[in-house]
Amino acid sequence: MTKKKELGRGLRALLSNIEQTNNVAPKSEVVKELNSGLVVVKLEEIEVNPFQPRIEFDNEVLMELARSIKIHGLIQPITVRSMGGGKFQIISGERRVRASKMAGLKEVPAYVRVANDQEMLEMALIENIQRADLNAIEIAISYQRLMEECNLTHESLSERVGKNRSTVTNYVRLLKLPPDIQSSIKQNEISMGHARALAGVDDVAKQLHTFKQIKNDGWSVRQLENYLKAKAEPSITEKTSVEHSNNEIDRITKELNKILGQKITIKRDNKGKGHIQIPFNNDIEFNSIYDLFKEME
């Protein structure tokens, strides 16, 4: 069995022992052996991968690939696992299989692997994550599935996919964004940089309001980050108000210190809520403070 730590090195590492695993693949008229590492499999005997994380395929891209395959054939073999009875299931290469069918092919070159469902899921997800044309949400879903269904932490997942832990975390956070924003990410209307910044906004209503501004005004990632930074910092008016309030509290504190003969403490927040502490060392001091308040009645 392939060691799990090999998964982080990509599909090439997964296929490093292909020669050994191919020896257990059934040989029948369905499969014609090309060499010790590669076979030809009939398309009608290939099933789709139920663990396939990718659910959307661009028809135009598929047509372009189909035209290329029709002229040159399928250059890059797919990878399948034997299901017994001459049936095979795709581990990687569903897009190539679809395009091959569109091109009129009857069979395709393939590597045959032996894998259980857990390994199948890991290999399929990791192979898809390493594709350059996945959108950020597809990657995020793949990361989430790997962690949930393969019982992986952010740290162990980062090792498997060869990414920094922070990168994995940033992608997974995208799944907490509202559906409208996730849809915009999938359609490449906003970038990963926009999405990461929006994911840092705690309030959903604020996320959606900011998202609309990004689309309406065509903000760059830098403009968005500057906007969010300005929103997080208090305005000049707010700063002046706070400073004035603090100066006033200091003045009142000094006056009460003189009146009561004690070093009192006043704590107050920006909303005006707080408390006054009046310390005393013995009953005599306590009664003296009490008498002062009685005189104010």
The DSSP call for residue 175 is: G
Amino acid at 92: S
In the chain the beta strands, taken as DSSP E runs, fall at: 31-35, 38-42, 46-47, 78-84, 87-92, 107-113, 265-268, 274-277
Amino acid at 206: K
Q: How many whole angstroms separate alpha carbon 224 and alpha carbon 232?
A: 12
DSSP assignment string, 221-288: HHHHHHHHHHHHSPPHHHHHHHHHHHHHHHHHHHHHHHHHTS--EEEE-TTS-EEEE---SSHHHHHH
Amino acid at 66: A
| CB-CB contact of 49 with 90 (8 Å) | yes
The DSSP call for residue 201 is: -
Q: Give the residue numbers annotated as catalytic, written as ranges.
A: 94
Q: How many whole angstroms separate alpha carbon 64 and alpha carbon 68?
A: 6
Q: How many whole angstroms separate alpha carbon 87 and alpha carbon 147?
A: 29
